[in-house]
Amino acid sequence: MKEFISHSATIFPVENPLASAQYYEDKLGFQITFQWENPPTYIVTKLGDNVSIHFVNQEDDRKPSKTHVAMTIFTHDIDKVY
């Protein structure tokens, strides 16, 4: 099974993905490696090869959850994993 798994990512819904990602970059040493749209609504940050945190723009009508975050596991071949 592990040969089909690429990586995982914790995804945080935030009010401002760019500001959040820049904080992680400036204060914690992460690197911004991907941005979607302008201004960004989805940003990927990485620390080394093993740690990835994604920031996504929360929907305007929702407050961020205090009990829920998401983790996505990326695969090379979902059919083989299934």
Q: Are the C-beta atoms of residues 35 and 43 closer than 8 Å to each other?
A: yes
Q: What is the CATH number of the domain that holds 10?
A: 3.30.720.120
Q: pTM of whole model > 0.75?
A: no
Print the domain residue range for 26: 2-81
List, for residues 52-79, the tens digit of each pLDDT value.
899 998 865 556 566 666 667 677 787 8
Tokens matching residue 44: 């990927």
Hey, which residues does 72 pair with through a beta bridge? Answer: 9
**Confidence tier at 13 by pLDDT (50, 70, 90):** confident
List, for residues 14-44, the tens digit of each pLDDT value.
889 999 999 999 998 999 999 999 999 999 9
